[in-house]
Every structure is written in structure tokens, then in C-alpha cells.
Structure 1
Amino acid sequence: MTGSQSTRPGGPATPPAADDWLAPVAASAAKAVQAPEELLGGYLPMLADAAVNGRRPDSSQLEAVRELGRRAAAQGVGARRAVDLYLSAAWRLWRQLPVVARSSDPEKVRRAAEAVLRVLDDAVGVLVDGHQTERRDMVRHEEAQRAGFVDDLLRGDADVARLVERAEPFGIDLGKPHHVALVAPRDGDGTADRAATALERAVVERFGDREVLVATKDGRVVVVVPGGPSPAFALPEGVGVGTVLHQALQRRGIAGRWRVAAGRAFAGAYGVARSYEEALEALTVADRLGLETDVVHARDLLVHRVLGRDQAAMVDLVRDVLSPLERVRGGAEVLLETLQGYFDAGEVATEAARRLHVSVRTVTYRLARVAQLTGYRVSRPDQRFALHAAVLGARLLDWPATPLPAEP
């Protein structure tokens, strides 16, 4: 050791006040583990003081090390590398300690080693604790930022410039088109958080880690994926985003039954919000209609959206076209079910009969009865469209189980 030594009144010799001999130790340890030297702070003087004087650090010194752990996390230095830095510095310091280098007394060396190890244990403990605390705070902050961004993105924040700026760290270019899909559990076995984790991996594998976002909202999984013409984003012919996501859930064996509703792709700052509204409306319509399919796309439900936008017109249509069916003994349910089955089967009587578990003759008889009561025949294109639209409206209104509003 170079430099003069100072002596504490009533105590043993201590290292030089300037601690010049510790600087090379700190630099060597930091270089060895590729970590910032500043993260050592006053740790090396604490070790030296313990070895020479047998003194353990006080609470303020340990609190300073805890703050260094937080700083390491904030700078992106992992806990393992931070601990490696402290261990590396400790054994390098031990080789330079004057009490070890000059003493031939084994007991004195043992006491010095014990004191250093105690300080090392204390310091590493609070270092890791500070690192973990900072990481938890950072995660909570990131989650809060992410949740706030997702809410504003799906709502279509009025501050477009700010929204575009906030989207950049998430890899979202709001000038490009994006699909939004909602993944909702259909039974009590599905857990949105678990599904979100699986879907995030699947989405990144399929679309890459840019222009994608997976989050949870209101008990559902929200998935934002690119919808541009790029070959990297292109989907197989006839396969929609909803199908891709549902297949991903099945491949990964996620428990429960799920329904996926996908909106169309739109560009611009409000494109994501518009696609989200379509997906949400498609999910609502599918639930209201009692659709059995697990995948619904907004483009396939556009006629339902048209009907649903004008509630009064839809009520008038159902009342004027289908209310005569209530004159049948037992009510309109049987004939309405037949019409629904007929249209769902692609207007093929044999397939409708199979799905309804009745004979073809029964189906044709009931359709003829509908024509007799309403004046609308499925054989005439214009009347068939009116019937089909009225049937869709009835399903949206849950008629006849729910009475229609009274006429004004």
C-alpha cells in the first residue's frame, strides 16, 4: 500500500483518508464485469474499514447501497451483474488489504476475512433488495403507462400528435392500417391473463415484434396486429385475423372456450379505435344472436350493424313483416325458428331440415305457412331479402321472447 497511514484515536490503523488505493480496485472490477464503476459508491471503503477496524456499516451506509441497487436497475444493469460487480470488487480488495498483506497472524487474518464477509453479505442483500424494488416500481409504472396508452388508443384520444408520440415506444406506426381483435371467454374456464401471454408469443411469431400489441381490458384480450399489404403481414387466402388467433389458442392448449371477434383494418390515428369498435360490436352481436361460431369478423356482420343503427326502423320491420306469425297456435317461435334455420342453411331446405331435425316436407310446409300469414315468400328475391332482414332484426331484438316496444 502506498501513502501514509492515519490512526484513529484508540483504534487500529486505517487506510489513507483519500482511499487512493481503492480506485484501481473499483476500476478493475467494473471493467471485468462490464458494469458502471459508479455503482460501487462507498462500498469499497466500507469493506476496507471492516477489514482493518472490524466495523460494520451503519444504516445510512446500507441505505446508500440500497439506492445504488435501485440506480443499477434504472440504468438497465441486471441484478446478477450488479452482484458480480460487488463480488469481484470484494476479492480484488482482499488481495490489496494491508492487514492481510502484512500480517503473519492467522487469527488476525481470520477476523479480517470474517468482517469483510459480513459486510459483503449485508451489502449484497440490500443491493439486491434495492434492485428488486426499483424493478417492481418500473414494472408498475410501465404497466400503468401501457394501460393508459391502450385505453386512449382504443378510445381514439383527441390529442392525435400526443397519441402518435406515445405509440412509438410500443412499435406502433399509426399511419399504417391495423386490425383489432377481441378474445373473450365463453365459459368460466378461460383466464384472460393466461390467454394474453400465449397470444403475445403467437402474434410475435406470426407478425414480428413491430406493429403489434397485446393487452387485457374488461376481462378480454385485446390484440392489435398489422393489416397492410406487406407480404410479412399477409394472411392465407380466406383466413382472417380472428381465425389465426383462435388457432393459436387451440395449439397452445389454453383452457376454456373462446370467441374471437375481429374488426377490419383501418389506417390513421383513429384507425385502431375504429377497428376496436367494430370488433366490440361484432362480439356483442354474436352474443345477442347466440351464434355458435367461435370466430366472428366484423365484415361478415355489416348487415347486422346496418339494422342495429336504426332501432326504430328495425322494430317497424319486425312488426310489419313477422308479427302475423303470432297468430299461429303456440306463437311465432316455431315458424321463426324455421326461417332462421332456412337462411342459416344457405336457403337449402334439405340442409335446414337436417339442422332442425325435421323432414323436408315439414320445412316446406312451414315456409308456405309463413307466406300465407305474412305475404312474403322465400321464393321471391325481393320478399326473401325483407324476410331475412326481419329475421335478423328479430334475433337482435330477442323477439318474440321480448315484446316489441309499443307503437308511438
Structure 2
Amino acid sequence: MTDTPAWLGDGCLRLIGGEPSASDLVEAAALGDRAAAESLTVTDIVEAFGQAAEAGWDAVPGPEAQRQGGLLLRSLRRLTVAAIDGYHRAGHDEAGRREHDRDTFIDELLAAHPDPGRLAARAQRYGVRLSGQHTVVVARAPDLGHPAAHAIDDALAARFGAANTLTSLRDHELICIVAGGLRGVPAELARHLVQHLGAGRWQIAVGRSHRGLPGLATSLDEARNTLDLADRLGFATPVLHAADLLVFPVLLRDRDAITDLVTTVLGPLITARGGAQPLLQTLAVLFEQQGNHTATARQLHISVRAVTYRLDRIRSLTGYHPGEPTQRFTLHTAVLGARLLGWPSGA
């Protein structure tokens, strides 16, 4: 315990004694607030009020001691509670300010056109090298709340170092800035999301690593676009990497070309009895299962014979068959293109 500062001791002596008024309680709370700001402890506050009560008791003449004792104790209790309440409120407010400052810093880091001069001073506080290389990891988790997000942030900082990860919850997305070529963060993040939310209620995308401030916004866009693509394509893989899906932005840049591919290769399926959708779904699952007919049948809840029949029907209508190496890539690309376009209903 440190020596009681003069301002705290004098303030307690001034307040202790009579029945505390509303303004006395406000002043006691202000003492607690100042104690928090000057890094004193709750013990320091209790000690200061205890010393003031002792001094007040010693000053009471003998005949008055019994009556004044009860008053002093009531005064001590109410003033100490008010001061400690002010102390904790100040700590809570300070934590809120730090969190707000941190979130604001992350928002400015990830802005499309960040101001390096404005960010430089605060970057040092958070251990971020603005000229360094970073990767942005985004977890889309609609059910994730702030308490769980804070717990995950603390866990990642403990595992990888506070200067190597910077995490913030924004609009149902947990955004994590990862320093340098640090590996293992997406897997660790996935582990904690399973712990807090369970499986199947979140998805992670990892942007590519880029250098400098503009690279942060680029990596963030890549991660978000990857999640959007996964949603459109029906990819349920828990952790996706933008680098693995680079072909899809290329396809989408030339909508006319991908539309032509889809309608040319898959257009005849519209004439099939039951429409194109069952045959498209069969192809999509087949490609997901690496061409395994048994696994495809199991996922579609049909027989292997039915899978074979559908594939023969696709070949009969389109002239393409996924069993032919030279035709597999064209068919797979057309099926993914159909998902991107919402074909045939979105055609």
C-alpha cells in the first residue's frame, strides 16, 4: 500500500463526520474517479476514509462518543461506497474509451484512403508497422457478440502476441489484422469460433498478404469478396483463402463470356424432364466429391445407379461428360459460372 496522497486524505477528512448530503456523495465519487486516474487502488480509498473516520472519532468528546460513533459509521459506509463506485465507473469509462480508440484506429487502418500522418502516432501504441506486410482475416459470424469477440481477441493476443494480431467486431464480422507472414491465426480463430458458436454458424476468409497501408484495405476486400463468392457458390468450407478463388473474379470480369459458356454448354439441360436443376446439382456435388460416384449418391440421397443415369443423360443432352479429362474442366467451369449467374432462374 502506498502513502495516502494529501489530496485524497484531505478530501476524506472534509467529507467524513455528519450525515452525507447528495453533493457530498458526488464529491466522494469524484475522489474515486481521480484515484482511478492516478492509478491508486481501492485499498487506498478504503484506507483514506478509514483514517479520516479514526481522526473524526478521536476528536469526539467522551460524552458524545456513542452518539457520534453511529453517525461516523454511517457516513463512512455511504461515502466509501460512493467513492468506490466512482472508482469503478472511471475504470469502466476508461476501458470504453480505449476500446473506442482501438476500433477507430482499425477503421482508419482499413479505410480505402488512409492518412499515414494521422495514423503514425497511434500505430506505435498498438505495435503496428504501417509500412509492413499484413494479412486481413474476416470471420462472418452473425451470432457473435462483443463479449465473445473480446475473449477471442484476448486469446489470439495471448497465443501470437498483442503486436501481431489486432481484432475488432464490425457488423457481424470479426476482422483480424495479422502482422507479416504469421501462420496459424485462421486455424486458431476457427477453433475459438467453434468453442463460442459451434460448427456451421460461421465462415472465415483469408485475404492475401500485402505491404503498406493500401494493402490492408486490399486484403480486407479480398477476404470479404471471398465470403460473398462462397455464399453465391454454396461453398461451406469453414476456412477459405482468397488466393484459392482467384479464378472467379476473372470469370466475373467478362460476364458476356461466362454467360456464353454457361448457355452453350449447359443450355440443353433445360429440355430435360424435371428441368436443369437436378442435373446441375448432380454435377456440382460430383465435382465437390472429386468425381466419386458413391459419395455423390450419398450426399444427394439417391442410388449410385441414379447418379450414373444422370451423368449419361447430361452427356446425351450436352455432349460433355465429367468422366472425360478434356471435358471435365469445361463442365466444372460452366457449373460454377451457372451458380455465379443464378442460371437458369437468373438468366
The TM-score bracket by the shorter chain reads: 0.7 to 0.9
Larger Rg: 1
State the AA in 2 paired with 1:247: R
Q: Which amino acid aligns with 2:218?
A: R
- In the alignment, which residue of structure 2 is the partner of 1:77? 40
| Aligned AA (2:338) | A
Matched, 1:218 2:171: yes
Distance 1:38 1:212, change over 3 A: farther
- Counterpart of 2:117 (choices 161, 164, 168) is 161
Deviation at 1:253, TM superposition (A): 5.3
Cα distance in 1 for partners of 2:247, 2:73 equals 75
Aligned to 2:252: 308
TM-superposed deviation, 1:318: 1.7
Q: 2:277 aligns with which of 321, 333, 343?
A: 333
Which position in structure 2 is the counterpart of 1:387? 331
Separation in 1, partners of 2:284, 2:314 = 12
Q: Which residue of 2 aligns with 1:42?
A: 11
Q: How many residues align?
A: 346
Output the aligned Cα RMSD: 3.2
Question: For 1:363 and 1:121, how far apart are their aligned partners in 2?
Answer: 79
Partner of 1:33: 2
Q: Distance in 2 between matches of 1:194 and 1:64?
A: 33
Alpha carbons of structure 1 residues 220 and 203: separation in structure 2 relative to 1, 3 Å: same
Match of 1:281 in 2: 225
Q: 5 Å matches for 1:229-244?
A: 233-235=182-184, 241-244=185-188
Aligned mates of 1:167, 1:326 — CA distance in 2: 57
- TM-score norm. by structure 1 comes to 0.72
Larger mean Cα displacement after TM superposition, 142-151 or 374-383: 374-383
2:105 matched to 1:149?
A: yes
Give, in angstroms, the shift of residue 289 of structure 1.
Answer: 1.9
Q: Distance in 1 between matches of 2:155 and 2:11?
A: 47
2: CA distance between counterparts of 1:114 and 1:377? 94
Residues 90/369 of structure 1: CA separation in 2 closer, same or farther (3 Å cut): same
> Cα deviation per residue 1:287-328 (whole Å; 9 max; x = unaligned)?
222223333222222222322344343323322322222122
1:311-322 correspondence to structure 2 within 5 Å: 311-322=255-266
CA contact (8 A) 2:110 2:216 kept: yes
| Deviation at residue 115 of structure 1 after TM alignment | 4.3
How many Å apart are 1:59 and its aligned residue? 5.2
Mapped partners of 1:260, 1:227: distance in 2? 23
Q: 2:66 aligns with which of 110, 119, 131?
A: 110
Q: Flag the structure with higher helix content.
A: 2
Aligned-residue sequence identity (percent) comes to: 37
1:181 aligns with 2:143: no
C-alpha contact (below 8 Å) 2:190/2:204 kept by paired residues: no
Q: What is the SS of the residue equivalent to 1:210? A: coil
Deviates more, 1:388-397 or 1:200-209: 200-209
Between stretches 389-398 and 299-308, larger displacement belongs to 299-308
Q: Is the 8 A contact 2:53 2:76 kept in 1?
A: no
Q: Once the 2 structures are TM-superposed, how far is the Cα of residue 207 of structure 1 from its aligned partner?
A: 0.9
Q: 1:262-310, CA deviations, whole angstroms, 9 ceiling, x for partnerless residues?
A: 2233332133322222221222222222223333222222222322344
Gaps of 5+ in 2: none
Q: CA deviation at 1:159?
A: 0.8
Unaligned segments of structure 1, at least 5 residues = 1-31, 236-240
For 1:58 and 1:267, locate their aligned partners in 2 and report how far apart those are by CA, in whole Å.
60
| Residue 394 of structure 1, CA deviation | 0.9
Q: Distance in 2 between matches of 1:270 and 1:322?
A: 41
